[in-house]
Amino acid sequence: MQQQYTIIGGGIAGLTAAIALRQKGIDPVIFEAAPELKPVGAGIGLAANAIQALAVLGIEKEIIAKGRFLEGFSFRTEKDALLAHTDTTAISRSSGQDNFVIHRADLHEALLSHLDRSRIHTGKPLAAVKPHGRSILLQFRDGSEHVTDYLIAADGINSVVRQSVLPGVTPQYAGYTCWRCVVPDGPAAAEEVEEILGPAGRFGIVPLTNGKVYWFACINAPSRDPEMKNMTAAGLGRIFSGYPERVRVLLQASEGLPLIWGDIADLPTTHEYVQGNIVLIGDAAHATTPNMGQGACQAIEDAVILAAEIARHKDPGMAFRAFSKRRLSRTRMVVRRSRMMGNMAQWRHPVLMALRNTLFRITPAAVFKRQLKTLYNVDLS
């Protein structure tokens, strides 16, 4: 009898893993907490490493068609002075693909189009995971149960599965909170991402397709602050009032639009993403702060590499262990580097800000490029 695989979580990690497994002749069942799979979210950057992983699955072209390429990124001060600029085209093209951005909803839709919806059960929040002989018993909040041979946990940073596999690994607040929004008819016609760093916090501008502009704003704040939760675009306009004019214009254009808000957190790094016949992938395993724009990219890499290891090994338990071994150092590097970058970007003390700005200015572009090359060169076999 064929072994049964179950995926918990229908986010980017879960859906991509399901596509990758199907291509290896395995048809997993997915349980998703949300009552329905609605197109949600703001923009998301997919770096060249993620596009390469999507290319392994043969689905990159249709995803690329829904997003747009970016030529680079720059960091500026609140006075609009350039701190650093990196042209990413040369680096990413040499690794086989370009960097690009897409609306999250379009990415989800593209992934879903490769899956059999009857295998995705929505409105199924997992409550507990228990051993069941040599199998695993999944108990859902609605009282229903499901038994599976192998479990892939793709249930995000607050993973219920991880709580039973790695109970000591819990999310840690990064010290800053973030709003995101997509403006349908954005004023900026830039060809690249820009991040503006200043005493009020960070403001990022990312051009999407068809005139849409995705922006994000991060400020230092206590966690779960009700004032932050109730923040409006006008309120952010006041906070970022000393920033360049395009920030004010974007925030004004966002009044009345839904803002996506959340405290930024990551997971402490661990030494294992596997326990027996359970494996953790994506944010459930190695949630990272968004400063490198790599969380979803690593989740997509996970999916492709997990499927490759499952195809390589007769024993899925061995495949899970091989996957974990392969993924640990790279994902830990991303989590640590991203945390450090975020801490620096959120500095507010004038002396520290001056130091950071000087570091940005004097760091040769070749150093940024070298770091990106390491990120973009990944073995997906």
Q: Which residues of this protein are in contact with ligand FAD, per CB under 6 A?
A: 8-14, 31-34, 44-45, 124-126, 154-156, 160, 178, 180, 216, 262, 282-284, 290, 293-297, 299
Instruction: Give the C-alpha separation, 212 to 206, whole Å.
Output: 9
**Closest CB to ligand FAD among residues 14, 207:** 14
Q: How far is CA 76 from CA 91, 136, 332, 345, 365, in A?
A: 22, 51, 28, 11, 15
78 or 283, CB closer to ligand FAD? Answer: 283
Does residue 48 contact residue 90 with C-beta atoms inside 8 Å? no
Give, to the nearest 10 degrees, the angle between helix 316-345 and helix 295-312.
Answer: 170
Given a contact cutoff of 8 angstroms between Cβ atoms, the answer to whether 89 and 229 are in contact is no
Between 211 and 262, name the residue whose CB sits nearer to ligand FAD: 262
Smallest gap from residue 67 Cβ to ligand FAD (A):
11
- Rank residues 19 and 296 by Cβ distance to ligand FAD and give the closer one: 296
Give whichever of 254 and 357 is closer to ligand FAD, judged by the CB atom.
254
Q: Tell me the closest approach of the beta carbon of residue 108 to ligand FAD, in angstroms.
A: 9
Contacts of 275 (CB under 8 A, 6+ apart): 165, 166
Smallest distance, ligand FAD to C-beta of residue 135, A: 18
Give every CB contact of residue 252 below 8 A, 6+ residues apart in sequence: 233, 237
For tokens 């702060």, name the residue: 289
User: Nearer to ligand FAD by C-beta: 188 or 313?
Assistant: 188
Residue position matching structure tokens 């945390």: 339
Shortest distance (Å) from residue 28 CB to ligand FAD: 14
CB of 282 to ligand FAD, least distance (A): 2
**Residue 140 near residue 127, CB atoms below 8 Å:** yes
| Minimum gap (Å) between residue 280 Cβ and ligand FAD | 9
Q: How far is the CB of 351 from ligand FAD (least distance, A)?
A: 28
In the complex with ligand FAD, the residue whose CB is nearer, 26 or 217, is 217
DSSP character string of 96-155: TS--EEEEHHHHHHHHHTTS-GGGEE-S--EEEEEEETTEEEEEETTS-EEEESEEEE--
CB of 71 closer than 8 Å to CB of 88: yes
